[in-house]
A and B are shown apart, each in its own frame.
Chain A
């Protein structure tokens, strides 16, 4: 049996997305059911006139990174830096380094895009001018690990650091990797996070897969038409020891079915659920709220709704926030964690923004409206391309 013998608590967390920077923005958007989505054609993003879809864009990313970090400058790392500066997160990490020493603080970040936007730009410049720009030879930038190495440098940590890239489960799996580092006493604290930014690869890739919605996305709605892509940066500082909010359990599994469609019976997701519940020593009915993956694709929502009906009672409420922020891919997991932790600390749960009429296969669990609810135990779902599933359970002690 996998056990979580150590208490692991959340020392600090923050999230920045299309609805604004920091927890206050997330809270405001959730409680007012307001979204930060805009039509792609109204943005300055490249090729924005070619696709009919809505996106969740973060404002204010025109500012370059501070000069010492110029080699990492790109949209994704600017978003990471913006995210790190919210909610006193930098100060909390600095204090953790003072408490434990820099080599005892690790950094595990999830991303699917990392700096690929910079590589796209290099090719665009070559098409226009005939040669690649000088930044094309910046090997610190054009690598998937660029984000994590930038974050570790900016935070001045010297503990273990690697990048997890498993599409939409990346930043949830970062929490699991951090828990293992803590369990084996290789670190005393870990900065986990996820940052993904809007770029042509994902916009046109998802368009090619016919998964983009031309309207604001409507998770679990009978008329849902697919996803809206979004960008976000989220981070959490996990530390060994007791605290008011703790990681109770986690479960990871593989669908082993298809690269971009979930297993039709949700069996992979259920394996992850059972592993998480077993580790947490809980039953499904003990979960007060689930932050759903709820991307608004026909398949994901169908399978996820069926899983809810099969395994949970009406006492477990559930909602998807993809209608507020868009689907932020590599950052989706950490956003789910941020919503989970806000629920535990503040006693409310988000609704399912933009959704008007629930699909017939949705049970009583899915909430359209936000609500005040005294939650003790919450969970988040992340189900990714490649059949990667990750479920986290957090608790208020």
Chain B
């Protein structure tokens, strides 16, 4: 069984109370921020910016910030997009419209409902022709996104950006899709150490049930987000210390992970 080893160069987070990574690192030490609205992507022309679905706004926000931290041009990155539930606002709109007036479905909104819409927009605005993919694994979408990102990074010897996002579920879908908090996260990884490497990541695929994650003093409260499973990973990065922890990728397997900060130049 091989160990997945990559170097983390950039990370970004957005939640309504933690609108950037600096806020996440300071979380618990400063007063909570007032609830923020999802930032509209400045990279889009004004007309498109206004119509932009939330998942696209979230993806572009964290993707851009993580790439900036990593000092990487998005054109040189493979990209893996992950989401537990996709664009639930538009799914709600579609289902409602289909019941009433199906011939009035908006073509633009239909395109935005497609799971890989944020991926397509990311590559378009960045003029990036490298491959992207869009995946889901329900409540384990972050862990599987990270897993697939490491796999691509190592097999293709190429840096990868992982971009994960989920919106707050609209009320009609609250029983079908439980999450109540919007969240987006992005990570840039590289197959070898570079001057901008911030952490060394090592993951082993293990059969069995992971030990339940119980942080002693968590900085982040992601429990109502679609990608709550990102918490151990983000806590580890925010701590600035070496961390060992497990992340399940299914009910049968987990990643046994160690994250070690690199010395900053």
Structural contact, A167 and B114, CB atoms closer than 8 A: yes
Of the residues A132, A161, A252, A259, contact of B131 by C-beta under 8 Å: A252
Structural contact, B137 and A384, CB atoms closer than 8 A: no
Give B219-249 interface residues, CB cut-off 8 Å to A: 249
Given A50-B102, A124-B99, A143-B85: A184 and B116 interface contact (C-beta under 8 Å)? no
Structural contact, B132 and A254, CB atoms closer than 8 A: yes
Structural contact, B207 and A158, CB atoms closer than 8 A: yes
* CB of A33 to closest CB in B, whole Å: 32
Tell me the complex Cα distance, A385–B117, Å: 8
Give B143-198 interface residues, CB cut-off 8 Å to A: 144, 147-148, 151-152, 154-157, 172-173, 175-178
Given A162-B148, A165-B136: A386 and B116 interface contact (C-beta under 8 Å)? yes
* CB of B195 to closest CB in A, whole Å: 25
Structural contact, B120 and A385, CB atoms closer than 8 A: yes
Interface bits A206-242 vs B (CB < 8 Å: 1, else 0): 1111100000000000000000000000000000000
Structural contact, A386 and B119, CB atoms closer than 8 A: yes
Structural contact, B136 and A144, CB atoms closer than 8 A: yes
Of the residues A50, A201, A387, contact of B103 by C-beta under 8 Å: A50
How extensive is the interface on chain B, given as a class? 35 or more
Structural contact, A47 and B102, CB atoms closer than 8 A: yes
Tell me the complex Cα distance, A102–B130, Å: 34
B52 within 8 A of partner (CB): no
Given A185-B2, A207-B105: A267 and B129 interface contact (C-beta under 8 Å)? yes
Specify which chain A residues have a CB less than 8 angstroms from the CB of B127 in the assembled complex: 256
Structural contact, B111 and A186, CB atoms closer than 8 A: no
A309 within 8 A of partner (CB): no
A35 within 8 A of partner (CB): no
Of the residues B97, B110, B253, contact of A209 by C-beta under 8 Å: B110
Give A186-210 interface residues, CB cut-off 8 Å to B: 186, 200-201, 203-210
Tell me the complex Cα distance, A111–B66, Å: 29
Interface bits B74-114 vs A (CB < 8 Å: 1, else 0): 00000000001110000100111111101101110011011
Structural contact, B129 and A184, CB atoms closer than 8 A: no
Structural contact, A149 and B138, CB atoms closer than 8 A: yes
A-B contacts at CB below 8 angstroms, number: 213
Tell me the complex Cα distance, A162–B249, Å: 9
Tell me the complex Cα distance, A267–B127, Å: 12
Of the residues B116, B205, B207, contact of A166 by C-beta under 8 Å: B116
* CB of A266 to closest CB in B, whole Å: 12
Tell me the complex Cα distance, A257–B128, Å: 9
* CB of A389 to closest CB in B, whole Å: 8
Structural contact, B133 and A173, CB atoms closer than 8 A: yes
Structural contact, B151 and A162, CB atoms closer than 8 A: no
A99 within 8 A of partner (CB): no
Give A88-145 interface residues, CB cut-off 8 Å to B: 102-103, 112, 116, 119-120, 122-124, 126-127, 132, 136-139, 141-145
A313 within 8 A of partner (CB): no
Given A184-B2, A185-B2: A256 and B123 interface contact (C-beta under 8 Å)? yes
Given A181-B151, A385-B111: A143 and B177 interface contact (C-beta under 8 Å)? yes
Of the residues A160, A210, A268, contact of B249 by C-beta under 8 Å: A160
Interface bits A248-276 vs B (CB < 8 Å: 1, else 0): 00001111111110000001100110000
A177 within 8 A of partner (CB): yes
Structural contact, A205 and B133, CB atoms closer than 8 A: no
Structural contact, B129 and A165, CB atoms closer than 8 A: no
Specify which chain A residues have a CB less than 8 angstroms from the CB of B131 in the assembled complex: 252-254, 272, 388
Give B1-25 interface residues, CB cut-off 8 Å to A: 1-2, 4
Structural contact, A103 and B253, CB atoms closer than 8 A: yes
Specify which chain B residues have a CB less than 8 angstroms from the CB of A163 in the assembled complex: 135-137
Specify which chain A residues have a CB less than 8 angstroms from the CB of B148 in the assembled complex: 162, 177
Tell me the complex Cα distance, A210–B105, Å: 11
Structural contact, B98 and A204, CB atoms closer than 8 A: yes
A370 within 8 A of partner (CB): no
In the A-B complex, the 7 residue pairs with the smallest Cβ-Cβ separation, listed nearest first, are: A386-B120, A205-B110, A252-B131, A165-B115, A142-B176, A158-B252, A137-B175
The contact sample of 11 A-B pairs, CB cut-off 8 A, is A139-B177, A144-B136, A144-B138, A145-B138, A158-B207, A166-B133, A180-B151, A183-B155, A200-B102, A208-B106, A253-B130
With A137-B176, A254-B132 already in contact, 6 other A-B pairs whose C-beta atoms are closer than 8 Å: A103-B207, A103-B253, A119-B95, A161-B137, A185-B2, A253-B130
